[in-house]
Structure 1
Amino acid sequence: MILSQLLPEIARVCPMNAAMKSKEQTLTYEELLRQVNSVAGGFEQLSIMPGDRVALIGNPSPHLVIAEYAAAAIGAVPFAIFPSLAIPEIAHILEDAAPAAIIFDSTDDKIAELITSAASAAQHLVSCQSGSAAHSIEDFISNKPHFVRIYEADPDDIALIIYTGGTTGRSKGVMHTHRGLRNWSSMNTRLGSGYNRAKKSIVANLAHLTGQFVVWTSLIEGGCLIFPDSYPLTAEETVTIIEREQLRNLGTVGLLLRDIVNLPGIKQRQLQSIEAISCGGAPISETTLRKAREIFPHAQLIEVYSQTESGNFISSFSINECMQEERLNRLQSVGKPSHTAAWGQEIFEVRVVDNAGDDVKSGAAGEIICRGPSDHARLLE
């Protein structure tokens, strides 16, 4: 299913499920669809066309995600930018992507400064809040512009751009098609699969693959996006959200997991609801993992390896099994591609090659290359 069709279908299947929750409000899917349609109508009034790129700059917020869903509804291509990047880095991405519109959080002084200097980078500047630009997401929602119908994209049209720098210098835009992103739903047996036991997910970022994965898979499942009170996300707020919302699943990186398990009084916190923790991004020490096993006794700890270009997980493995079997040397690995079948996804073909593209011998260093269900992604040129 193409991205523009997801929200109307989920709002039909489970209209009263909580879709977004922040300090200010909770939106049901019925309410979310109404607001997204209003913003999509506002975008149409600005003559934003299918295929036009729409930049999202700011810490994660309901307004930015609503803008992203609205862009998809009219066939535009959204992409998010880390607000913590230096202004020259943000300016480079805007120049590279040439967006038709920039949606920005005007409460961030640095972003407001950048937008003032980058006004020529886009045809339209749209603030999240009223009064900060000629147009705003709040005004679109209040004025309820007329929205005709969702855009029906071709499966091989570009649906989403995610910028990544990796280790190769300046950020590059990875373009994901609707067909490629459809594989993100392979872990879900059907649309609205979270109806009876709605999944809640913390939105830690928007500009990273993991953040976009959460934004769209939560929608597929009829789940609820939880927006923290402040960013960057801290260990204390993560634990507070787990306790308050009784989260069952937690996606994290090694540094955040380390900070969580080392919080003072962490063993007295109410964390029994957690059933699964996925970790990635960097190696995690054995000490941190042993503490995590004690603090989250009912959780499956899973190491995952992915790339912005791959979309889905390339490999994974069970930390619980490694520790139970005392195969501690495997804690520094990223598992096997075949292990991702447990998530319900197609398995990637992975090779480790030398500079000539030939497979290296076992134990030798080389470059990882892979091919799989999301190989429709390509770099923005």
Structure 2
Amino acid sequence: MRNQGVGSWPARRSRGSSGQTALIFGDQRRTYAELHERVNRLGNALRGLGVEKGSRVAYLGPNLPSFVESMFAVQALGAIFVPLNTRLTTAELRYQLDDCTAQVLIAAPANTATAQQLLGGTVRILISENAASPADTHDYETLLQGADSTELDEAVDLRDPALILYTSGTTGKPKGATLTHGNITWNCMNVVVDIDVASTEITLVSAPLFHVAALNMTMLPTILKGGTAVLMDRWDTDACYDLIERHRVTFMFGVPSMFAGLADTPRWTTADLSSVRLLVTGGAPVPRGLIETFQQRDLTFLQGFGMTEAAPGTMIVGSVASTQKIGTAGVPHFFTDVRIARDELRNVEVGEPGEILIQGPNVMPGYWEAPDATAAAFTDDGWFRSGDVAAYDEERYIYIIDRMKDMYISGGENVYPAEVESILEQHPAVSECAVIGVADETWGEVGHAFVILNGQAEPFTGDLRAYLESRLAKYKLPRFVTFVDDLPRTGSGKVAKHKLRSPA
């Protein structure tokens, strides 16, 4: 095959696993042969709409078979898949679509209304899963069934871009982390090696596929090995338990708040979890007590550390060490190198804090059309700068100490205060503000805004929240607002956020 990329995986997998179940969603089942055929049909349909190698195609929707089919079809053409976060506002989505100049937007039924608002600009075609479509859109199933199933075999190299995932930056504007086919492939190899994904795996894909961990740490490694991916289109603890018991799920990834929700339900003590051999969490600080709760039910509960820019697997606490190294970020994945450095990139000693630096075939080449941001993200000798502070213990396991950047994680979602601050300061009553993350038992962290008013108005906290609700995703909204007369500053005049964090 000329296609060496991820888009060729359905074709390759169907050669030896054609009758095996690839996807389950509700009562729907797709074998690998069916997935292969549908990917070919959709790819040919997209080609007929002008999609070619290098084009950007966006997807807006939850975990559905169409997400998986769309991604493989786009990548089979050598085009670039751009999954969009359904929790974002229309304004936030439009910025991302404009930035990547997406040619096609594929929308799930629940997101069609939003997608219609996004038509125009750089998005000139909308494919909707709703049957009733205006003239400037195409119905997903009609388009797919009307296309031929001729084999797609575009020449694709592992160095070609496969995926753009937007991650908010400290400047307040999201950046598109551009992952190549090689980045994704090597990340999946790390998962297969370090987590022992099997060809008989029944993987519950419960976290959103528009996030890199659900996509590259669970669904794609399962497809690579020929297992079965069970899709959840929204998180619900009862539905999760039902699916585990019904399909005999063996493997699942979730952010800590998801696992905390499972442990807090009445079904926790009675649910049949006998099929589950492996649980993996990450994406937010993991309380030690949560890990111990799952281990007390004799479940292997692993913690990992990753970044979108690393596709995302960076470190993992393996099965053997999972009970002895609770709370650490683990050791580097097999094909990934990590070092901790400080000062002029000097490697640290045991217990000495420094910045996590990452290198390996899973690390992105850069941000989409952002050379300055890309240059700032790497050292002169090619190591990716994580912005996280960590240290080694005596056995070279790595534990996280703090973040060099202001970003905090709420319910598995990255929140960058600069983005929130830039919107909040547009309110007519706000003169200046600073946002930090504070600990929260449910979400890991939530936002706390410190606001200086300009004296022209006296808004209540609810007024500011209402102002932000139409402009920012819900998880980015500050939970707490404190009105202050001034903000602590450094000698250079910058806000000293470390002084806000201590009393907060």
TM-score, normalised on structure 1? 0.86
Residue aligned with 2:51, SS: coil
Seq. identity, %: 21
Q: Where in structure 2 are the equivalents of 1:1-381 lying within 5 Å? A: 1-108=4-111, 111-133=112-134, 134-145=137-148, 147=150, 149-165=152-168, 169-186=172-189, 187-188=191-192, 194-195=198-199, 197-213=200-216, 214-228=218-232, 230-231=233-234, 233-295=235-297, 297=298, 299-318=299-318, 321=321, 323=323, 325=324, 330-337=325-332, 340=333, 345-354=334-343, 356-359=344-347, 362-381=350-369
Deviation at 1:212, TM superposition (A): 2.0
> What is the CA-CA distance between 1:121 and the residue it aligns to?
2.6
* Larger relative contact order (CA 8 Å, sep ≥ 6): 1
Q: Deviations over 1:180-213 (max 9, x none)?
A: 2221332448xxx855x24333252121111221
Q: 1:278 to 1:188 in 2, by over 3 A?
A: closer
Is the radius of gyration larger for structure 1 or structure 2?
2
Q: 1:118 to 1:363 in 2, by over 3 A?
A: farther
Provide the C-alpha distance between the structure 1 equivalents of 2:149 and 2:264, rounded to a whole number of angstroms. Answer: 51
- The answer for unaligned runs of 5 or more in structure 2 is 370-504
For residues 82 and 128 of structure 1, what CA distance do their matches in structure 2 show?
A: 18
> Residues 292 and 167 (structure 1 numbering): CA distance in 2 closer, same or farther, change over 3 Å?
farther
Report the Cα distance in structure 1 between the residues aligned to 2:169 and 2:353, rounded to whole angstroms.
Answer: 19
- Shift of the 81–313 alpha-carbon distance from structure 1 to 2, 3 Å rule, reads same
Letter in 2 for 1:16: G
Residues 286 and 243 of structure 1, relative CA distance in 2, 3 Å threshold: same
- Give the CA deviation at 1:362: 4.8
**Aligned 8 A contact 1:16 1:30 in 2:** yes
* In structure 2, C-alpha distance between the alignment counterparts of 1:267 and 1:148, rounded to whole Å: 49
Report if aligned partners of 1:183, 1:312 keep a CA contact under 8 Å in 2.
no
Report the Cα offset of residue 364 of structure 1.
Answer: 4.7
- Aligned partners of 2:336 and 2:105: how far apart in 1? 37
**Equivalent residues of 1:56, 1:81 under 8 A apart:** yes
CA distance in 1, matches of 2:105, 2:357: 34
The alpha carbon displacement at 1:89 in A equals 1.2
Offset from partner CA, 1:122-157 (integer Å, 9 cap, x none): 121111233235312211232233535321212211
- Give the deviation of 1:318 after TM superposition: 4.5
Q: What is the deviation of 1:377?
A: 3.1
1:269-295 deviation per Cα after TM superposition (whole angstroms, max 9, x unaligned)? 101111111111222223222221123
Conserved? CA contact 1:82–1:206, under 8 Å: no
Please state whether the residue corresponding to 2:44 is helix, strand or coil. Answer: helix
- CA deviations 1:57-92 (Å, max 9, x no partner) are 111211122111111111111010111112211111
Evaluate the alpha carbon distance shift between residue 201 and residue 300 of structure 1 in structure 2; reply closer, same or farther with a 3 A threshold: same
8 Å contact from structure 2 (residues 336, 362) kept in 1:
no
Contact 2:177–2:364 (8 Å) recurs in 1 = no
For structure 1, the residue ranges without an aligned partner over 5 or more in a row are none
Contact 1:200 1:223 in 2 (8 A): yes
The 3 A distance-change label for structure 1 pair 218 and 146 is: same
Distance 1:256 1:63 in 2: 24
Structure 1 pair 288–117 and aligned structure 2 pair: CA distance change class (3 A): closer
Tell me the C-alpha RMSD between the 2 structures.
Answer: 2.3
More helix, by proportion: 1
Cα distance in 1, alignment partners of residues 132 and 148 from structure 2: 18
What CA distance in whole angstroms lies between the structure 2 residues aligned with 1:117 and 1:31?
Answer: 31
The size of the alignment, in residue pairs, is 359
Q: CA distance change for structure 1 residues 220 and 364 in 2, over 3 Å: closer, same or farther?
A: same
Change (3 A) 1:265 1:159: closer
2:437: which partner in 1?
Answer: none
Contact 1:319 1:331 in 2 (8 A): no
Change (3 A) 1:288 1:347: same
- Compute the TM-score of the two structures, normalised by the length of structure 2: 0.66
Q: 1:350 is paired with a residue of what secondary structure?
A: strand
**Contact 1:119–1:125 at 8 Å: present in 2 too?**
no
Alpha-carbon contact 1:4-1:150 (below 8 Å) kept: no
- Deviation of the 1:215 alpha carbon: 3.3
The residue matched to 1:309 in structure 2 has which SS?
A: helix
How far, CA to CA, are the matches of 2:77 and 2:346 in structure 1?
44
